Amino acid sequence: MKRIFQFGLLFAAACALFGRAQAADDTSETRTVNIDARVVRVKIDGMVDVKLRQGPVPSLTITGNKRTMDRLTYAQSGDTLQLESDGGRSVRISTSSGARAEMVLPNLRQVVMEGLGAAEISGFSGQELELVLDGAGSMKATVDYKTVRARLGGVGKMNLWISENERVDIDLGGAGNIVLGGSGKLLKADLGGIGGLNAQKFTAESIDLDLSGLGNATVTATSNAKLDLSGLGSATVYGKPVNRDVSVDGLGKVNWK
């Protein structure tokens, strides 16, 4: 009986210690990382949610539980900042109790997401910007650049608002959807994956659309429209462009609105 009582005490103590360890792991902590104004490229690998906004003083603040923070690495190399979890995509960092990074940069030229998570980008402007979603997640950007290249090679969704633009290049080779709004001179889109492009709210003078995958596209062109459909999707064109160059070699069709 005495041994049973002692075992019970030991078991209770172990449970208490385990509970404290779990509580310690679940305790949120915040780290401030020193970065400098050279950073214009951000690469993310792992389950990390990132918010980037434009500001004069560069800064990086990361929040998460202790277990998550211990698995997260961050390093600046020249103009590139790398954020990744230990083991890359194999490590599970949930968005509810995992890492959340908030970053302020004076300038931005590239954001690449190769893991699982979400990125929100706002306030930046400049000459060129490249946005890449090769993992699984989402990317939202409100920016003002002359030239923007956006690629969805993984699985997820991109929501982009681009103002006063000269050229936007869209490449959808993965699975997902891209929503585009704003205005520009040229929209060139290559849709070879599974998913669609909704660019009805992006008013372009000219559009060049190559639709060879499985999905539909909606665009707006005011002057010139060149469309090549060889896949299983259809295209809807708003804006009543005067010049129209259409080639259909698939199962889709072009609708003019």
CATH number, domain of 219, equals 2.160.20.120
Asked whether residue 234 carries a pLDDT value surpassing 80, the answer given is yes
For residues 242-253, average pLDDT: 94
On whether residue 19 sits in a domain, the answer given is no
On whether residue 214 sits in a domain, the answer given is yes
For residues 61-68, average pLDDT: 88
On whether residue 75 sits in a domain, the answer given is no
For residues 81-100, average pLDDT: 61
DSSP letters, 185-206, are: EEEEEEE-SEEEEEEEEEEEEE
Longest dimension (CA), the chain: 94
Tally of structural domains, the chain: 1
Asked whether residue 4 carries a pLDDT value surpassing 90, the answer given is no
Asked whether residue 13 carries a pLDDT value surpassing 50, the answer given is no
Asked whether residue 21 carries a pLDDT value surpassing 70, the answer given is no
- Cα 203 to Cα 150: distance, rounded to the nearest angstrom: 17
pLDDT-derived band at 26 (thresholds 50, 70, 90) equals: low
On whether residue 88 sits in a domain, the answer given is no
On whether residue 16 sits in a domain, the answer given is no
CB 110 within 8 A of CB 145: no
CB 210 within 8 A of CB 216: no
pTM: 0.86
On whether residue 70 sits in a domain, the answer given is no
Asked whether residue 19 carries a pLDDT value surpassing 60, the answer given is no
pLDDT digits (tens, 9 = 90+) for 141-199: 999 999 999 999 999 999 999 988 999 999 999 999 999 999 999 999 999 999 999 99
Mean pLDDT score of the chain = 88
Beta-strand runs (E) in the chain = 28-33, 41-45, 48-54, 59-65, 72-77, 80-85, 99-105, 110-113, 116-133, 136-152, 155-172, 175-191, 194-211, 217-229, 235-238, 243-248, 254-256
Range of the domain at 225: 108-257
For the beta carbon of residue 154, count every other beta carbon within 10 angstroms: 20
On whether residue 15 sits in a domain, the answer given is no
On whether residue 2 sits in a domain, the answer given is no
CB 48 within 8 A of CB 33: no
